[in-house]
Copies of this chain bind each other. A is one copy, B any other.
């Protein structure tokens, strides 16, 4: 990768870090470039404005990362319901990419930007839908092998699970990690009941 591409990626990574903690709108370009060895000229050389940077951030940083963390675990060959539980459990246990105080970067962006930006809404819709479809496929597979009850509505369940995840990330912000462990117990009960 050449120097220009490295600079661009560095800006995106740093932006992601700060936006995760402060939100998109409250993160200023000045703050982003101040915390790294990059100037405003460089920033606007790589992105025509703040919005283009934000959208690039979703496409080039979040989508690949989320794919690895959210969808990859679902390709495991074990019992689908355990696989789904372990994916959520893994997400909530991850303290490298996530912080209980700041919730989930993707869901935070949905909350903040979906209502006020069509472009953000589209990108985030795509991101979350991809996750849901992966869960649906996982459940469908479980139906075939007889692990998942045949009258399970996979779309409904997938939405129920992803919504629950978004919600517990929200609750974690006010209740701390105890909320996570409490939630996981009930999630397990819920998933078992789909057998």
Q: Which of A150-195 contact B (CB under 8 A)?
A: 153, 155-157, 159-160, 162-168, 170-171, 173-175, 179, 182-183, 185-187, 189-190, 193
User: Hey, which chain B residues are within 8 Å of A171, CB to CB?
Assistant: 110, 128, 159, 162-163, 166
- Does chain B have a CB within 8 A of A14? no
The complex is assembled from copies of this chain, and their number is 2
Is A67 positioned at the interface, with any CB of B under 8 Å from its CB?
A: no
| B115→A103 contact, CB < 8 A | yes
Which one, B21, B116, B159, contacts A22 given CB within 8 A?
B116
Task: Evaluate contact between B183 and A160: CB separation under 8 angstroms.
Answer: yes
Q: Does A141 contact B (CB under 8 A)?
A: no
- Structural contact, B125 and A186, CB atoms closer than 8 A: no
A151 (CB) vs chain B CBs: closest residue? B189
Interface residue A108 (Cβ < 8 Å from any Cβ of B): yes
